[in-house]
């Protein structure tokens, strides 16, 4: 058996086409405020790509690139202004923040109605209750991928390896909301294979290169690799996922790295921005 590859590009393209159509019928063009503190190269690259993608689908985008020396109070003051600005539909604070700025007060300071990352506790609670409109982007993008490729979720056994606030926990909640039977595994799980070998859908987000090996994958399972890890191969840098490449010989479906889930995260951010704008328009 060789797994069917499940690339993210066609899924992201289809989602972004729908987003562009939704933008065109809005009375006011949505605006996304992207906030970055410092010049971390990865953060600069991520914000640039989000800004570019927003403009491609017709969303106004404004980048607030603050110096590394920005204080917590100055950042919170900016967020207060963005919250109060009716032209701003969505706000994203690029993480990580510099060490002298505490993340939790910053995330709490974003208006839940403009929290297009889906990280605010109000939106997290809504997600677990099954009522969220602004879900975390990576898990929401994974559900888009499963739907696009016709992979059933309801009634399936699903395992999520990793319990981060950004991927693992919300992924479990959203799979549960789609009527899967869900298990969360993590670094303290006593027998990981006993969990993963039962899973029809396996989402791996642990940040450890090639961590999931074929001997602990159920034959025919759909494996979603969320990892993005840089390793050295023959003196050159290479991007690999959390799933060992030999899993392709066991799984029924596998997302590639690169070219898989990462593309969906940005596309879902655009969808969340339009959803936030639609909610404001509906309230009048």
The domain locations on the chain are: 29-112, 136-262
Structure tokens, 274: 């339009």
Catalytically active residues, by annotation: 50, 94, 117
Q: Could you tell me the fold of the domain covering 136-262?
A: Rossmann fold (3.40.50)
Question: Could you read off the pLDDT tens digit of each residue along the chain, which spans 284 residues?
Answer: 688 999 999 999 999 999 999 999 999 999 999 999 999 998 999 999 999 999 999 999 999 999 999 999 999 999 999 999 999 999 999 999 999 999 999 999 999 999 999 999 999 999 999 888 899 999 999 999 999 999 999 999 999 999 999 999 999 999 999 999 999 999 899 999 999 999 999 999 999 999 999 999 999 999 999 999 888 877 788 889 999 999 999 999 999 999 999 999 999 999 999 999 998 877 65
Annotated binding site for NADP(+): 162-164, 228
> In this structure, are residues 165 and 95 in contact, taking their beta carbons and an 8 Å threshold?
no
pLDDT, residue 92, reads: 97
Q: Could you tell me the fold of the domain covering 29-112?
A: Rossmann fold (3.40.50)
pLDDT, residue 284, reads: 57
> What DSSP line would sit under the chain, residue for residue?
--PEE--SHHHHHHHHHHHHHHHHTSSS--EEEEEEES--HHHHHHHHHHHHHHHHTT-EEEEEEE-TT--HHHHHHHHHHHHH-TT--EEEEPSSPPTTS-HHHHHHHS-GGGBTT--SHHHHHHHHHT--SS--HHHHHHHHHHHHTT---TT-EEEEE---TTTHHHHHHHHHHTT-EEEEE-TT-S-HHHHHTT-SEEEE--S-TT-B-GGGS-TT-EEEE---EEEEETTEEEEE-SB-GGGGGT-SEE--SSSSHHHHHHHHHHHHHHHHHHHHHHH-
Q: b/e string for 17-48 if b means 16 or more Cβ within 10 A?
A: ebbeebbeebeeebbbbbbbbbebeebeebbe
Q: How far is C-alpha 197 from the chain's CA centre?
A: 25
Cα angle, residue 210 at apex, residues 1 and 150 outer, rounded to 5°: 45
Same fold, 29-112 and 136-262: yes
């Amino acid at each position: 058996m060789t797994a069917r590859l499940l690339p993210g590009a066609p899924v992201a393209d289809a989602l972004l086409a729908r987003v562009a159509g939704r933008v065109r019928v809005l009375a006011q063009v949505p605006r996304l405020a992207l906030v970055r503190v410092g010049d971390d190269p990865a953060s600069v690259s991520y914000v640039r790509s989000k800004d570019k993608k927003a403009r491609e689908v017709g969303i106004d985008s404004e980048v607030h690139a603050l110096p590394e020396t920005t204080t917590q109070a100055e950042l919170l003051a900016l967020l207060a202004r963005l919250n109060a600005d009716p032209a701003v539909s969505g706000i994203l604070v690029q993480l990580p923040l510099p060490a002298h700025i505490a993340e939790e007060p910053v995330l709490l300071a974003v208006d839940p109605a403009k929290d297009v990352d889906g990280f605010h506790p109000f939106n997290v609670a809504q997600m677990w209750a099954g009522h969220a409109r602004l879900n975390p982007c990576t898990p929401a993008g994974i559900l888009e991928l499963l739907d696009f490729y016709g992979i059933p979720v309801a009634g399936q056994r699903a395992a999520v390896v990793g319990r981060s606030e950004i991927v693992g926990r919300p992924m479990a909640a959203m799979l549960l909301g789609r009527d899967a039977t869900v298990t969360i595994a993590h670094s303290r799980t006593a027998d990981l294979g006993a969990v993963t070998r039962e899973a029809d859908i396996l989402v791996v987000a642990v940040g450890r290169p090639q961590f999931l090996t074929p001997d602990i994958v159920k034959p025919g399972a759909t494996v979603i690799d969320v990892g993005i890890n840089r390793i050295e191969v023959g003196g050159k840098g290479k991007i690999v996922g959390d799933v060992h490449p030999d899993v392709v010989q066991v799984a029924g479906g596998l997302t590639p790295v690169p070219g898989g889930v990462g593309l969906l995260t940005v596309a879902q951010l655009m969808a969340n921005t339009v959803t936030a704008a639609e909610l404001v328009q509906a309230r009048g």
